[in-house]
Structures are given as C-alpha cells and as structure tokens.
C-alpha cells in the first residue's frame, strides 16, 4: 500500500508575522489605550495584556482591556487570512503568566492570493461617533451580524423592540449619571482625551455638540463637525456576551466584536461600542434581566446604524509605533 504523504506545513517568516501584528494593532480599544503586547519567539507569537494600560477606576476587573485584546487577536487572524495564511490560536494556555492571553502559530499548507479588499477593510474600520440617520438597520441584517458574533464562541442578541430599546436607553442614562458623579472615573477619562502622543482619543473625533435625543455621551464635547438635522432613532443595538463573566468570555467577546465591526463596515454601516451600562454592575445585571433574553452575562453593547456622511475624511486615532508593542527574539 503506498504511503500517503503529509502536506508540508510552511511556517510564516518573522517578517510576515511582524506585518500581521502591525495590522492587528489597528484594532479598536477602550479609550484607544492599545493595551496589548506581542512577543515572537521560535515561530510562536504570544499576545499579552499590557496591565500598565488598564483603567483602574473605569475598568477595575479588566473586562474592557481584555475585550480590546480580543479584538486585536481577531484582527490578527483576519489579516492572516487576507494575506493567505492561517492561524492556530490557543487561548489562555495552561500554566500561563496571568498577562498571557493567547499563543498563535501562523502557517499554511499552500499559497493563496492576498485579498486586497479585506486588508483595506482593516484600515477603513474606525469609530465614527457622529449621529446616525433615521433609516433603521433591517432586522435580518442584525441577525446576520449576531450569527457572525456567535461564530467566535459568544452569544449575541439584537435589541429591536421599541420597549426594549426604551428600557435600554433609560438604563444607559442611569449608568452615565452614576459615572458622572465618580470623580476618579472622570479624571481617568480626561487623561485619555486629546493626549500628546500615539494613543488616546483626539478632540477631532468627539462631536462638538452632545446629541440631545439619544443617551448622553460619556465624553465631553469635541471638535467633530456634525451639523445635519435629521429625525433620529435609526440606530439599533447588539449585545455580545456569554454564559460567564470572566477572562475567557471577555476574550471571545472581543473577537466577536471585531468580527461584527468589520462585517458592519464592509456593509457600509457604522458601529459605536457602548460599555457604560456594562461598567456599572447593577445596571449590567438589569440589562441582562429586563432587556435581553439570550445573553445572561453581557460584556459589551454595540450601537449600529447608517450615516449619510462618508468616513473617508475622518481623522484616524493614532497608533503606537510597532517597536513599543512588538518584541521579536532571534
């Protein structure tokens, strides 16, 4: 009987891995803190949480930090596929350092052409905080996005009924009121707005006037022009979470958030993370109890809608140089 040859597995060279990390670091993160570090040694890429960038007042458990790292992990896998490579990801490896979130092997058994449109999508995705138009996202589109999220091991649910949407807006405002009276949170937030350097949120990306007919913004007014007069209410919300509220669940939800965000961007929609109702534990539990049916432990809420103004002219949030977040051992 003739022997069957095993396909030859080609491991990605260090230069390819370095480019993938560069693309992964385009991922969204809480207040653009970019709380990740990458180590590459002997064909193994390690993702670590940069705990020095955790927000102790706003994010004491590290939920938002881990969601951010999960988004970067998904961006890496998405970029690898777009460049013709595959990723084998081990999340939360045994006997790990608490900061280590995943180990990744990048390889392929045959060459494939790069998908240029997917690489462009990574660079196009952004957080556009301008108001949405009145045209609602159809329910079938929302369900498609929920299925995209669930491919990454999370649970997802669209908030579509008028009663649930009103209830969620009331709870979001309750959370913001709670956060506004916490001086430590407000000071921490201010430190990440209009920073000099390669992180934080530029004033040019914060709308100049608060939106009077939506849940209040957590940020102070910025410089982004947004002068259209429209009938509001076209945005919808998708909740992403799981059966447990822990590091593994947050990491999966971060991957799901990135997958939904990229797919929404591909379809011409905009997405804004809404973490305030999740950051206040009493509100988070109430959201799960009175708004959601299928997500017992919500980790993040995503506002999704359409915008009449294109994104191409928006400034982009800065990114830390690669040498600050990536260490390559010989």
Q: What is the pLDDT of residues 116-146, one digit of tens each?
A: 999 999 999 998 877 788 888 999 999 999 9
Query: pLDDT class for 3, splitting at 50, 70, 90?
Result: low
Assess whether pLDDT exceeds 50 at residue 226.
no
Q: How many CB atoms lie within 10 A of CB 314?
A: 16
Q: What angle do CA 137, 63, 126 make, to 5 degrees?
A: 40
Kindly state the average pLDDT of the residues 87-97.
Answer: 92
Phi/psi of residue 187, each to 5°?
Answer: -65, -40
- What global pTM score does this model have? 0.90
Is the distance from CB of 159 to CB of 168 less than 8 angstroms?
yes
Query: pLDDT class for 101, splitting at 50, 70, 90?
Result: very high
What local confidence, expressed as pLDDT, does residue 204 receive?
Answer: 77
Kindly state the average pLDDT of the residues 62-66.
Answer: 98
* Per-residue model confidence as pLDDT tens digits over 4-50: 666 788 999 999 999 999 999 999 999 999 999 999 998 899 999 99
Phi/psi of residue 48, each to 5°?
Answer: -120, 145
Rounded distance between C-alpha atoms, residue 261 and residue 70, angstroms:
13
What local confidence, expressed as pLDDT, does residue 313 receive?
Answer: 67
Rounded distance between C-alpha atoms, residue 172 and residue 276, angstroms:
7
Residue scoring higher pLDDT (202 or 33)? 33
Say if strands 100-108 and 236-242 run parallel, antiparallel, or are unpaired: unpaired
What local confidence, expressed as pLDDT, does residue 220 receive?
Answer: 45
> Where is 304: in which H helix or E strand?
strand 297-305
Which residue segments constitute the domains of the chain, with CATH numbers given? Answer: 14-124 (3.40.109.10), 139-306 (3.40.109.10)
What local confidence, expressed as pLDDT, does residue 43 receive?
Answer: 85
Least confident of 81-95, 134-148, 249-263, 313-327: 313-327
Rounded distance between C-alpha atoms, residue 25 and residue 27, angstroms:
5
Q: 43 in helix, strand or coil? A: coil
Residue scoring higher pLDDT (220 or 256)? 256
* Per-residue model confidence as pLDDT tens digits over 297-318: 999 999 999 976 665 667 788 9
**Short-list 297, 282, 257, CA closest to 127:** 257
What local confidence, expressed as pLDDT, does residue 44 receive?
Answer: 93
What local confidence, expressed as pLDDT, does residue 96 receive?
Answer: 79
Q: What angle do CA 71, 257, 29 make, to 5 degrees?
A: 45
Burial category of 279 from C-beta neighbours within 10 Å (exposed 0-12, middle 13-18, buried 19 and up): buried
What local confidence, expressed as pLDDT, does residue 157 receive?
Answer: 98
Rounded distance between C-alpha atoms, residue 245 and residue 172, angstroms:
20
Q: 329 in helix, strand or coil? A: coil
Percent share of the chain, pLDDT over 90: 73
Q: 263 in helix, strand or coil? A: helix
């Amino acid at each position: 009987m003739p022997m069957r040859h095993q396909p030859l597995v080609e491991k990605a060279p260090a230069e390819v891995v370095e480019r993938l990390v560069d693309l992964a670091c385009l991922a969204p993160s809480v207040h653009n803190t970019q709380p990740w570090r990458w180590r590459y040694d002997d064909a193994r890429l390690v993702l670590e949480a940069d705990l020095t960038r955790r927000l102790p007042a706003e994010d004491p458990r590290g939920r938002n930090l881990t969601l951010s790292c999960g988004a970067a992990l998904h961006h890496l896998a998405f970029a690898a596929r777009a460049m013709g490579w595959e990723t084998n990801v081990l999340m939360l490896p045994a006997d790990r350092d608490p900061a280590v979130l995943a180990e990744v092997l990048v390889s392929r058994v045959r060459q494939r052409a790069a998908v240029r449109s997917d690489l462009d999508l990574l660079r196009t995705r952004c957080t556009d905080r301008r108001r949405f138009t009145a045209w609602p996202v159809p329910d079938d589109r929302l369900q498609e996005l929920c299925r995209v999220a669930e491919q990454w091991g999370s649970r997802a649910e669209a908030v579509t009924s008028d009663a649930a949407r009103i209830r969620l807006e009331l709870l979001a405002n309750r959370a913001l009121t709670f956060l506004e009276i916490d001086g430590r949170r407000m000071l921490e937030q201010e430190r990440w707005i209009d920073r000099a350097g390669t992180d934080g949120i530029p004033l040019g990306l914060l709308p100049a006037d608060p939106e009077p007919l939506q849940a209040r913004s957590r940020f102070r007014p910025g410089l982004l022009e947004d002068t259209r007069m429209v009938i509001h209410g076209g945005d919808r919300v998708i909740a992403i979470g799981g059966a447990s509220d822990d590091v593994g669940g947050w990491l999966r939800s971060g991957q799901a958030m990135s997958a939904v965000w990229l797919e929404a961007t591909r379809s011409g929609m905009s997405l804004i993370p809404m973490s305030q109702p999740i950051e206040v534990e009493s509100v988070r539990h109430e959201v799960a109890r009175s708004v959601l049916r299928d997500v017992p432990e919500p980790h993040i809420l995503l506002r999704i809608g359409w915008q009449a103004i294109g994104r191409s002219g928006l400034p982009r949030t800065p990114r830390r140089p690669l040498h600050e977040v990536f260490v390559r051992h010989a």
